[in-house]
A and B are shown apart, each in its own frame.
Chain A
Amino acid sequence: MKVLMSGNEGIARGAYEYGIRFASGYPGTPSTEIIETFAQYPDVYAEWSPNEKVALEVGIGAALAGDRAMVVMKHVGVNVAADPLFTVSYTGTNGALVIVTADDPSLHSSQNEQDNRNYARFAKIPMLEPSDSQEAKDFVKLAFEISERFDTPVFLRTTTRVSHSKSLVHVEDPIPWEDKTEIKINTSKYVMVPMNARIRRMEVEKRTQRLKEFAETFVENRLEINDPGVGIITSGMPYHYAKDVFPKLSYLKLGMVYPLPINLIRNFASKVRQLYVIEELDPFIEEQVKAAGIDVKGKAIFPYTGEFDPGVIEKGITGKNLTTVCIPDVPIPSRPPNLCPGCPHRGLFYVLGKLKTFVTGDIGCYTLSFMKPLEGLHSCVCMGASIGMAHGMGKALKDKGKGKVVGVIGDSTFIHSGITSLLNMSYNKSDAVIVICDNRTTAMTGMQEHPGTGYTLLGEKTKELDLETLSSALGIESVRVIDPYDISTTRTVIKEELSRSGTSIVISRRSCILFKRHVTDSRKPLKIDADKCIGCGICIGLGCPPISWRKFENLPAESIKRKTKKQDGIAFIDSNICNGCTVCQQLCKADAIIEESPSHGKK
């Protein structure tokens, strides 16, 4: 049966079909749907771990117990998991271990576009790279086979375009899970003290040699000899881009991108007159091919940055592109993503933006509030960085920083990698204020559970982390909870905490507006009372999607109600998308924001 599937759904399906029943991970675009889909299959164990390092260690443990485990993360998640990664390469896996890394060329939803193929070579771990949803499904099986056969962790690398595009997949019946688990002690292999690790280090080199030989005849390193004029070495989605524009050229399509089949590449090079490597991001294949003394063109004609598309490849090889029309010469306003109507972050960041403090930010929806008009966040580096950076800034600024540095972090992100940094603040006597934006879920990636939600990925009720108690246990003396829908209290509490010495925690607690579990109060959409609006624009400063500005010059004369000579327009609220959070209503000085009449209320 053929089914339309995303690459991520293909990976989950492939694991399930191959009898894999164990998976762990941490959500992150573009990888999230892999674990979410896998968790829907019957009789599987799947978990959201607090972060990628824990997720990998969980997978290593499962494999050590003899099971076959899949661990899933986005590209930057591998940075977090890098510590166990490099050493599980030495120990080997016993059962089987496949690590999925979902890279994000063009930074569609990430803070960098690192090329995680480098991790394969760096950690000496083989890497497969599927190019569409069918291969995503098939390659998971191949990855587990390689892991079992060579006693090695195996990477499966996707990119955003493979993970999130959909194509037809042939679905098969799953094979059942086979219980190979047992407790077996083998300290020389699994206790990586220097005397053991030195020996395992040699095993890694032997394994890499065997994998190089394996790669030469690996079925998914595929030759397509057509036109002998031009040969293209490629892998992943760029294969499809190239085939789209040049279906008749010759290809070496690599399903395994580390280690490379150098003899196969040499053989391919001998069959074609001009050889190209088409790869997004780093010249990973190109440099190895060149190091083998094979003449090839790559980054000389293709970009180092961003994801490719068929046009990029066409331009690189022919120097030309399709004819396009002239775009009309008008400025086109950009449309960046924005916080949702009724988002609990909006009130908090409105207050922070007005306080003239430096706000170290973190990874989450709230990162968007760096933009106009909120401008309430001033840095974003990685998961958890806000807390360490707020501490570092405070220490460096000394008196100049007193009452001027705030760190903000989401609930899931705090649990991911903020706890030790908060402990550091209390240990090393920090003066900054940390705000935990506790929206009760992992909102940015689409409402995943975490240790603070009280539920597991499989939907079981579990212990719910108490952030107040945890903060106190870490030595934070002032822990306060606010509702960010209450602007006045939010402002007062943050000001009070900024004026205190010592580290403070402010928990800004209000469920994500899209998260159904906690939304209990029925709120009524608001509207502008045109008889009262004085056109001051304060509500516009919230950047809330339903609120827009209407200039009098564009309105029919009879509808204009001018309150002052200077007034040149009026605010408008689209009641269809207003959630009635009342933040704008609290800010309005003219009492011009009122409830939409009940007959139009949508809830």
Chain B
Amino acid sequence: MEKNNHVKSILLAGVGGQGILRASDILCMVMMEAGLDAKKSEVHGMAQRGGCVTSHVRYGQKVYSPIARKGEVDILLSFEKLESLRYLDFMKPAGSIIINNIEIYPPSVNLGDIIYPQNIIDLIRNTFKTVKVINARDIAVQAGNVRAENTALLGVLSLYLPIDIALWEKVLTSSFAAAVAEANLRAFHLGRAA
């Protein structure tokens, strides 16, 4: 059967409150600015209360489904270490993974019912060739706004996408209030350099 080969899929994953939905909005608007068709999907509501949050972003000449199949994601942008482990089956075997090297413990770990898996990065590196690990929280602090973790991660992601940097800057500037836009742009560029 035929396949729609022109569509790329990016999966953003993390924990409620990390700015994942804002990041995927920005990514989707960047693709739109680049003249591509783009769709994104996530689930609001219960998921935001400290639970897992994922957002699918898909772009290309013509996009039908706003969500990717298992085995179809080109890039996983993971906002938290454990969350990068949870969605590996969505990845293309040759896909790339960007991991924010921070740990946020779920309640079951705090209660001692289950341990937070050790050596997550090694486990992922055993399976995937392209794995980039950064600490976006440190970058955000360095940029002057601890909440800019998401834009720091977008900075890393931008290295993997053939999109003019001016488009990113344009969308980032229009996506934040003037008071925090500068710190977010700084975080984005620090992310690119990390």
Contact = CB atoms under 8 A, between A and B. Distances in A.
A167 B25 CA distance: 11
B146 to A, nearest CB: 7
B91 A335 contact: no
Contacts of B107: 336, 338, 371-373, 543
B111 A4 contact: no
A332 B86 contact: yes
Contacts of A248: 2
Contacts of B74: none
B37 A168 contact: yes
B71 A330 contact: no
A50 B106 CA distance: 35
Interface string B16-33: 100000000100110010
A372 B107 CA distance: 8
19 contacts: A109-B47, A164-B43, A164-B44, A165-B40, A166-B39, A166-B40, A240-B65, A244-B7, A244-B64, A247-B4, A321-B69, A323-B93, A324-B90, A325-B127, A325-B128, A335-B83, A335-B106, A340-B50, A540-B110
A166 B127 CA distance: 32
A334 B117 contact: no
Given A166-B39, A338-B50, A338-B107, A310 B69 contact: yes
A333 B49 contact: no
A30 B44 CA distance: 8
Given A323-B71, A337-B16, A540-B110, A318 B49 contact: no
Interface residues of A, number: 61
> 10 tightest CB-CB pairs across the interface, nearest first?
A322-B71, A109-B45, A337-B51, A165-B41, A29-B45, A337-B49, A311-B69, A244-B65, A165-B66, A338-B50
A502 B46 CA distance: 35
B50 A240 contact: no
A108 B66 contact: no
Nearest to A314: B69
A336 B66 contact: no
Contacts of A317: 1
B38 to A, nearest CB: 7
B42 A164 contact: yes
B64 A445 contact: no
A310 B91 contact: no
B134 interface: no
A325 B51 contact: no
Contacts of B126: 328
B111 A2 contact: no
Given A4-B29, A108-B45, A337-B47, A318 B1 contact: yes
A596 to B, nearest CB: 15
A535 to B, nearest CB: 11
Contacts of B44: 29-30, 109, 164
Interface of B: 1-4, 7, 15-16, 25, 28-29, 32, 37-52, 63-72, 82-83, 85-86, 88-93, 105-117, 123-124, 126-128, 146
Nearest to A373: B111
Contact of A109 (B32, B41, B46, B105): B46
B49 A365 contact: yes
A422 to B, nearest CB: 27
B49 A340 contact: yes
Given A166-B41, A333-B109, A338-B49, A327 B28 contact: no
B32 A168 contact: yes
A365 B50 CA distance: 12
Which residue of B92, B108, B115 has the most chain A CB atoms within 10 A of its CB atom?
A: B108
A549 interface: yes
A247 B64 contact: yes
A245 B39 contact: no
A576 B111 contact: no
Contacts of A167: 38-39, 63, 66
Contact of A330 (B28, B123, B127): B123
Contacts of A165: 39-42, 66-67
Contacts of A338: 49-51, 107
B123 A445 contact: no
B89 A325 contact: yes
B69 A368 contact: no
Given A108-B46, A548-B110, A322 B65 contact: no
A439 to B, nearest CB: 14
A459 interface: no
Contacts of B91: 324-325
Given A167-B39, A333-B114, A540-B111, A322 B85 contact: no
Nearest to A166: B40
Nearest to A230: B1
Contacts of A246: 1-2
A544 B128 CA distance: 35
Given A165-B67, A325-B93, A372-B108, 6 more contacts: A165-B39, A168-B38, A241-B67, A310-B68, A311-B69, A330-B117
B20 to A, nearest CB: 13
Given A311-B69, A335-B51, A576 B146 contact: yes
A339 B51 CA distance: 10
A444 interface: yes
B64 A241 contact: yes
Contact of B45 (A2, A309, A334, A444): A444
B82 to A, nearest CB: 7
A244 B2 CA distance: 10
Given A166-B41, A321-B69, A549-B110, A327 B89 contact: yes
Contact of A332 (B51, B71, B117): B117
